[in-house]
Amino acid sequence: MRADAQRNYDRIVEVARLVFREQGYDASLDDIAKRAGVGPGTLYRHFPKRENLLDAVMQSWVDRVNETVDKALTHEGTDRDVLLNWFEQYVALISQHKGGPAKITSAMGNPDSPIMTKCQVLATANRRVIDQLGEHSALRDDVDVIQVCRLVGGVATVADQAGLDADAVRPMLAVLADGLMR
């Protein structure tokens, strides 16, 4: 990639991260291009679809997911406590900007999505937590990891769109944790 192209790419992603956080995932691409100091055509060259831009914005976020799940795996308490704590972290991780939970969760399990690799990171994180559950509180066998992502992501989506805070979300996640363990 030519030096000026690389510079423009980086500036667009940097600005997009800021604007998505300020205005949500439905922010104007024109606005992002303007604030990055490029023409709209340049943005479209690098990111043909809005989701490609989201994918680039989420690149630096992968490390944070892995750090968070590492910490969650060492959490003190019962299996249920560990799972519930992780679900709260999961909701926070996918709720970086308004509209994010819906976009991420609906892409979960779709191999053609531009953000597929990011969904896999989340699915893998979830699997690590579930695999650590003791035999007596293991995951029921009629749901898989993707379903768990969808269930927790569904709660995150509703919370995001209705503007709910963590205190309103916790009991809903508790229902999921209790319902998931056989």
Partner DNA sequence: ACCTGAACACCGTTCAAGT
Residues near DNA (CB under 7 A) are 1-2, 4-5, 8-9, 27-31, 37-42, 44-46, 48-50
Stretch that binds a copy of itself, among 18-26, 28-36, 89-97, 146-154 (CB under 8 A): 146-154
Nearer to DNA, 27 or 107 (CB): 27
Taking the complex as a whole, how short is the minimal distance between the CB of residue 105 and a copy of itself, in angstroms? 5
Task: Please state the three-class secondary structure of the chain as a single string.
Answer: CCHHHHHHHHHHHHHHHHHHHHHCCCCCHHHHHHHHCCCHHHHHHHCCCHHHHHHHHCCCHHHHHHHHHHHHHCCCCCHHHHHHHHHHHHHHHHCCCCCHHHHHHHHCCCCCCCCHHHHHHHHHHHHHHHHCCCHHHCECCCCCHHHHHHHHHHHHHHHHHHCCCHHHHHHHHHHHHHHHEC
Nearer to DNA, 31 or 131 (CB): 31
Determine if 137 is a binding residue for a copy of itself (CB under 8 A): no
Select the residue interacting with a copy of itself from 3, 74, 112, 162 (CB under 8 A). 162
User: Which residues are 139's β-sheet partners?
Assistant: 181
Select the residue interacting with a copy of itself from 23, 52, 96, 106 (CB under 8 A). 106
Select the residue interacting with a copy of itself from 15, 36, 65, 102 (CB under 8 A). 102
Binding site residues, a copy of itself, CB under 8 A: 102, 105-110, 140, 142-143, 147, 150-151, 153-155, 157-158, 161-162, 168, 171-172, 174-180
